[in-house]
Amino acid sequence: MGLQKRLPEPALLRQTFSLFPSGVACIGAVVDGANEAIVASSFTVGVSLDPPLVSFAVQNTSTTWPIIRRAPLVGVSVMGSGHSEVCRQIASKDKSRRFEGMDIELSSTGSLFVPDSPVWLECSVFSEVPAGDHHVVLLEVTALGFNPDLNPLVFHRSSFSRVHGDD
């Protein structure tokens, strides 16, 4: 098995973690009249059914999450298999171009959603827990929508991959 007995180097840890596929979600809202969003490759559903909770981890250095968390409700779009370029654009450092040429949908409450996503959740922030160089954010689901005909995008081996259904 070859387990290491000492704390691994960050690069080795990142490589090891990349072998576990994870869902990718866009978390967004309109705040002070501006569209704001982040992409999270740590998104998890089914944290709790009562209350209905989902989670993701956000870096402590994020400058966008402190803005989004001020919104009363946020939109979570589980990214679809065709969204790899959308993810890269939203995650770019150039905040002025994050939504350039992109279709988005806004709810009446200001939650931001990406069309053609297999799952949409409208959520409120339930709690945040410090976790090393990140915070784990628990979101309470207040509304949802889904399209079972669409496949999700996953993050695996440090790149975007598609889920292929059985034929």
| Over residues 132-147, mean pLDDT | 96
Q: pTM, whole model, 2 decimals?
A: 0.87
Burial of residue 39 (CB within 10 Å: 0-12, 13-18, 19+) is buried
Residues 4 and 15: beta-carbon distance below 8 Å = no
Full 3-state SS string of the chain: CCCCCCCCCHHHHHHHHCCCCEEEEEEEEEECCEEEEEEEEEEEEEEEECCEEEEEEEECCCCCHHHHCCCCCEEEEECECCCHHHHHHHHCCCHHHCCCCCCCEECCCCEEECCCCCEEEEEEEEEEEEECCEEEEEEEEEEEEECCCCCEEEEECCEEEECCCCC
**134 φ/ψ angles, rounded to the nearest 5 degrees:** -130, 175
| Confidence (pLDDT) at 4 | 61
pLDDT-derived band of residue 136, with 50, 70 and 90 as boundaries?
very high
CA nearest neighbour of 155 among 60, 59, 17: 17
The answer to whether residue 137 scores a pLDDT higher than 80 is: yes
- Domain 23-150 in CATH: superfamily? Electron Transport, Fmn-binding Protein; Chain A (2.30.110.10)
Left (φ > 0), alpha (ψ -120 to 50) or beta: where does 32 sit?
Answer: left
| Confidence (pLDDT) at 21 | 72
Q: What is the pLDDT of residues 61-71, one digit of tens each?
A: 999 999 999 99
Q: What percent of the chain has pLDDT over 70?
A: 87
Q: What is the sign, positive or negative, of the torsion defined by CA atoms of 96, 99, 64, 160?
A: negative
pLDDT-derived band of residue 164, with 50, 70 and 90 as boundaries?
low
